[in-house]
Structure 1
Amino acid sequence: MPSPDLQTVVAEIAAEMRSRPDRGEVATYIPELGRVDPNQFAIAVALRDGTLVEGGDTETFFSIQSISKVFTLTLALGLAGDRVWNRVGREPSGSPFNSIVQLEHERGIPRNPFINAGAIAITDLILNGHQPRDTLGEILRFLQFLADDDSVFIDQGVAASEERTGYNNRALANFMKGFGVIDNPVEYVLGTYFHHCAIAMTCRQLAKAGSFLAHLGRNPTTGFSVVTAERARRLNAIMLTCGHYDGSGEFAYRVGLPGKSGVGGGILATVPGKASIAVWSPGLDRWGNSHLGRLALEQLTARMGWSIFGSPLATSA
């Protein structure tokens, strides 16, 4: 069983976040996400022994959006190994997640796999000449397997909403196609991309699905190896430096954990050797990351001493 301290900390954080008036703004540029009630918050911590410590709306499904990019990158590395890095870089972008300016400057090679252009390139690699339906099935089954829960699903309403309004992503994909970075038909790639971003999970499921990242690539309860320890370390490194777009430095400074956000309001974070954490609150900050999610993780790491950079310092900066 977890220590009472963690249970108390999680309960107190959940109570505070549910009552805070500063909730951020929901992502209205995807109309379906703009309809989500911002007065929701959830946190789930999956520990090494399989115990889940939870608070808030942990059984509510939400669109994981760009958090899916962690799992598609994992699949792509399994298919192509280091050849993935011929398609995308590994550097922080310093630009908004949907920027086309940087892509033009770097001749169609996305800066990293977590910005939209990079994730579209990774989706193209996973497609590898297959039909979108088959590839989506593979991605969905992978997440269901990691979460040990077949109720993980693709929210067709969110996917359709993204397809109707995804003009910027179409521009990114066509631009990369022009540079030969995209192999498959653009509409196949984008259809797959929009649908895997529309995967819906609960915080409980997401924390369990990310557990392999916190435990050297292995599921800590079954011992099943998802990736090698080296690959898990490298996935965490990219999450730390690139997981929150042009807010990645701020997240590392405030929270001190590898993490990946999504504009649905979720964040997946890992405490190497200890825990996988999922938080969700739909309101976003100016970088497109969950406002209350980041605050909750900042409190959690400070109170539990979980920052990968060591014990927290007394500071109000």
Structure 2
Amino acid sequence: MTDLAGIVAAIADEMRWEGQRGVVASYIPPLAAVPADKFGLALVMADGAVHLAGDADEPFSVQSISKVFALTLALGAVGDQLWARVGREPSGTAFNSIVQLETEHGIPRNPFINAGAIVVCDVLLGRLRPREAIGQMLRFVRELAGDDAIVIDDDVARAEQETGFRNRALANYMRSFGNLNGEVERVLGTYFHFCALAMSCRQLALAGRYLMNGGAVDGHRIVTENRARRINALMMSCGHYDNSGDFAYRIGLPGKSGVGGGILAIAPGIASIAVWSPGLNAAGNSQLGQLALERLAQRTGWSVFEPRMP
């Protein structure tokens, strides 16, 4: 039997001594203030067992990991109509790149780059006011995690609003192509609040259980099994921007990163995994988070490319 508690503890100890820790995001002031030595790891198993290490109960800004939950809500609202406005292909460019929008007529490559997530917010605002959409997101992640302590960090949301010039450019550019229906500031205000969700590794891993369990949590169906599989597929191919191929090569699990240093990874049928370390690599993904997940995959054999996976 695999000693998961021992593996998790050993990885956390190794990360404490790792010299290459990446660089903390500096363009959003509250993120720049997070100590670079933070590290948390949480595993929630299919049988309900929980394994924690390090700062696994300290909330952090999940940032783009929220795009997984926003996508789930948008698919619930409009179904496959969403794909008329957002693609499903890897971008091969930075998360906030504007380059592809011109050649592809304002259609973002996928829902996990900033432009795609902004369109997802616009879709949600087709049926809700901004305050209602933000409330829906907060209720959704609280329900998924079974924890009403999850909040949106207003300081982070405010800082995003004050520094989000590139996102305004993306939104206005898509609006010029007719792929944004709402007012830019209303859509971006919703998007910034989604990114400002504050969750711990434990809460994030609990929230990801529906993707581990074929769309269900504790017998309650969140999405269909087919939709859960497809969200996982998008996380595998697009969840780490232009670092997605390397993540799949080294780790072999669906995952979604955020510039707050968090990563949500899914071992289908086995575990929902959250890791947090604020130092980022050149692609904007957690340096130690990826390393920790690589070692976890090596020591457990978890990979969607592994014949033993259920």
TM superposition score category, shorter chain reference: over 0.9
Deviation at 1:310, TM superposition (A): 1.5
Match of residue 38 from structure 2:
40
1:141-186 C-alpha deviation (Å, 9 max, x unpaired)? 0000001000110001111111101000000000111111111111
Alignment partner of 1:281 is 2:277 = yes
User: Closer, same or farther in 2 for the Cα pair 1:298/1:256, shift >3 Å?
Assistant: same
Task: Please state if 1:255 is matched with 2:251.
Answer: yes
Partner of residue 292, structure 2: 296
Determine helix, strand or coil for the equivalent of 1:273.
coil
Within 2, Cα distance between the matches of 1:268 and 1:223? 22
TM-score by length of 2: 0.98
**Overall identity of the aligned pairs, in %:** 60
Q: How many residues align?
A: 308
Map 1:11-26 to 2 at 5 A. 11-26=9-24
Alignment counterpart, residue 60 of structure 2, candidates 59, 62, 82: 62
- For the Cα contact (< 8 Å) 1:96–1:246, is it kept in 2? yes
The aligned residue for residue 265 of structure 1 is: 261
Given the alignment, which residue of 241, 248, 261 partners 1:245?
241
SS at match of 2:237: helix
In structure 2, the partner of 1:49 is 47
The code of the aligned residue for 1:239 comes to M
Q: Distance in 2 between matches of 1:214 and 1:188?
A: 33
- Give the counterpart letter for 2:14 in structure 1: E
- Residues of 2 paired with 1:127 and 1:203: CA distance? 29
Residue 279 of structure 1 aligns to a residue in which SS?
strand
Equivalent residue, structure 2, for 1:110: 108
Which digits, 9 at most, give the CA deviation of each residue in 1:197-254, with x for residues without a partner? Answer: 00000000000000110111011xx211110000000000000000000000000001
Q: Which runs of 5+ in 2 are unaligned?
A: none
Structure-1 residue corresponding to 2:159: 161
Give the RMSD, CA atoms, in angstroms. 1.1
Q: Distance in 1 between matches of 2:56 and 2:50?
A: 11
C-alpha displacement of 1:30: 1.1
1:73-109 Cα deviation digits (max 9, x unpaired) = 0000000000010110000000111010111111100
Paired amino acid for 2:78: A
Aligned to 1:75: 73
Return the alpha-carbon distance in structure 1 between the equivalents of residues 305 and 85 of structure 2.
Answer: 31
TM-score normalised by length of structure 1: 0.96
**1:231 and 2:207 equivalent?**
no
Q: Give the letter for the 1:93 counterpart.
A: S
Amino acid at match of 1:162: E
Task: Give how far 1:44 is off.
Answer: 0.3
Deviation at 1:309, TM superposition (A): 1.0
Structure 1 residue 24 displacement after superposition: 0.4
Contact 1:14–1:55 (CA under 8 A) maintained in structure 2:
yes
Q: Is the CA contact (8 Å cut-off) linking 2:2 and 2:300 kept in structure 1?
A: no
Determine the C-alpha separation between the residues in 2 that align with 1:129 and 1:54. 39
Q: Tell me the alpha carbon deviations over residues 266-304 of structure 1, each in whole angstroms, 9 at most, x when there is no partner.
A: 000000110100000000000000000000000001100
Q: How many angstroms apart in 2 are the aligned matches of 1:57 and 1:290?
A: 15
Change over 3 Å in CA distance of 1:21–1:311 after alignment to 2 = farther
In 1, Cα distance between equivalents of 2:257 and 2:283: 10
Q: In 1, Cα distance between the equivalents of 2:60 and 2:78?
A: 30
| Aligned-partner Cα distance in 1 for 2:110–2:164 | 20
The SS at the match of 2:3 is helix
Q: Is the 8 A contact 2:12 2:41 kept in 1?
A: yes
CA distance in 1 between counterparts of 2:18 and 2:153 reads 29
Q: What residue in structure 2 maps to residue 315 of structure 1?
A: none
What is the distance in 1 between the residues matched to 2:160 and 2:235?
24
State the Cα distance separating 1:19 from its structure 2 match: 2.2
Give the conservation status (yes or no) of the 8 Å contact 1:305–1:311. Answer: no
Give the structure 2 partner of residue 99 of structure 1. Answer: 97
Compare 262-271 and 16-25 and name the one that shifted more. Answer: 16-25
1:103·1:109 contact (CA, 8 Å) conserved in 2?
yes
